[in-house]
Structure 1
Amino acid sequence: MRMIGPVLVALATLCSTAPAQSASLLDYVGECVPFARAASGIQIYGNAWTWWDQADGRYRRGETPRVGAVIVFEKSAQLRLGHVAVVSRVVTRRVLMITHANWSRQNGERGHAEQDVTLTDVSPNNDWTSVKVWYRDRDGLGGSIYPVYGFIYGNPDAAAPRALARAVPAPELTGRNPDYVGALIDAY
């Protein structure tokens, strides 16, 4: 019975491997949540769809995309646990680039990080509540429309009961030469 404590600690350590331990953030293979936390600096834990409510009173939230903000996808039939991604570029009012993990298949498997992926707002009111995401398997925007809660910004909510440090996005959040033209072609 006395061995259970050390075993649980060892197991927790193995299960909590974070992308920051990779040689590069972009070498990461795993779930979207630890990747988004490492890429954005926003310290929220739990399933992706829970981030929106968890951010309330801790981080500012809104519907305007900003570089370094986390976009939170709602739980849906296609995304049972939701999804989180980090805004890497704002291309136009309705087109972004995101950096995220565990979306497209690469070499036949999910989980890999992808940098500067096109995401387009398809919501009727231009408020980022519905989006389409570029999908490597189709080499273009996927056909699915995903509901989105909004964006969580890296600066703490001024009304937060406890002080939070400003989140600092990872330097690898965006590439040196993102394909703006390709993003616009994908979106339109």
Structure 2
Amino acid sequence: MRAVLAMLLLLGLAACGSTRQAGQPPLAPHRADLGEPISCVPYARARSGISLAGDAWQWWDAAAGRYERGRAPQPGSVLVINRTARMPSGHVAVVSRVLNSREVLVDHANWASGAARGRIATDQRVVDVSPRNDWSLVRVWYPRINDLGTTAFPARGFVHSRMAMAGR
């Protein structure tokens, strides 16, 4: 825990002198900076710079009034997947790239079961399969079968790294 806090402090200090353009997502630590095994919440927090706590499914409500939220993916945003009977804590994943209006690549941890439990996976495909194209239902790449999983998961949307403005 101490090492993670030290890393976050150093990243915060390094960001002060960065050449990052305004509006770009925060600088993400290299995957070697995050030890495995790791669950999705601390991984998403470290990669996105979004400082929320609780289970993954709680991030959507926890972000209200603190961070901007929306239905459109953006690089650096966190996709919040609701909890289900098979996934009682929900899941969060950081958008690494938007491919089109219905497909993104994400970086996340602890998605697959078995040997991949607690592992970090990068540039994994997620597809919006919702009838209204609103990212309320998604299918996620499943490395074990080397394809999208057959289950569609209910999603809340995306928490963006920008702080919410008062009165919005």
TM range (shorter): 0.7 to 0.9
Q: Give the conservation status (yes or no) of the 8 Å contact 2:97–2:104.
A: yes
Contact 2:111 2:117 in 1 (8 A): yes
Q: Does 1:133 pair with 2:140? A: yes
Q: Which has the larger radius of gyration?
A: 1
Aligned pair partner of 2:103 in 95, 105, 111: 95
Q: Distance in 2 between matches of 1:23 and 1:51?
A: 22
Distance 2:113 2:85 in 1: 19
How do 1:17-166 and structure 2 match up within 5 A?
24-25=32-33, 28-105=36-113, 108-159=115-166
Superposed, 1:11-22 pairs within 5 Å as 13=1
- TM-score, structure 1 as length reference: 0.71
* Residue identity matched to 2:154: P
1:37 CA drift (Å): 0.2
CA contact (8 A) 2:34 2:43 kept: no
- Does the CA-based 8 Å contact 2:31-2:120 persist in structure 1? no
Query: Which residue does the alignment assign to 2:19?
Result: none
The structural deviation recorded for 1:104 is 2.1
Q: CA deviation at 1:94?
A: 0.5
Deviation at 1:29, TM superposition (A): 2.1
1:27–1:113 Cα contact (<8 Å) kept: no
- Which SS does the other structure have where 1:147 is aligned? strand
Identity %: 42
Calculate the aligned-residue CA RMSD, in Å.
2.2
| SS at structure 1 position matched to 2:98 | strand
Consecutive unaligned residues in structure 1, runs of 5 or more: 1-12, 161-188
Deviations 1:56-84 (A, max 9, x none): 00000000000000000011112100000
**In structure 2, what is the Cα distance between the partners aligned to 1:104 and 1:81?**
14
Q: CA deviation at 1:45?
A: 0.8
2:42 and 2:142 mapped to 1: Cα distance? 21
Distance 1:33 1:66 in 2: 18
SS in 2 for 1:75: coil
Q: How many residues align?
A: 145
Cα deviations by residue, 1:131-172 (Å, 9 ceiling, x for unpaired)? 000001111100000000000000000118xxxxxxxxxxxx
Q: Show structure 2 runs of 5+ residues with no match.
A: 9-29
Secondary structure of 2:69's match?
Answer: strand
Normalized against structure 2, the TM-score is what?
Answer: 0.79
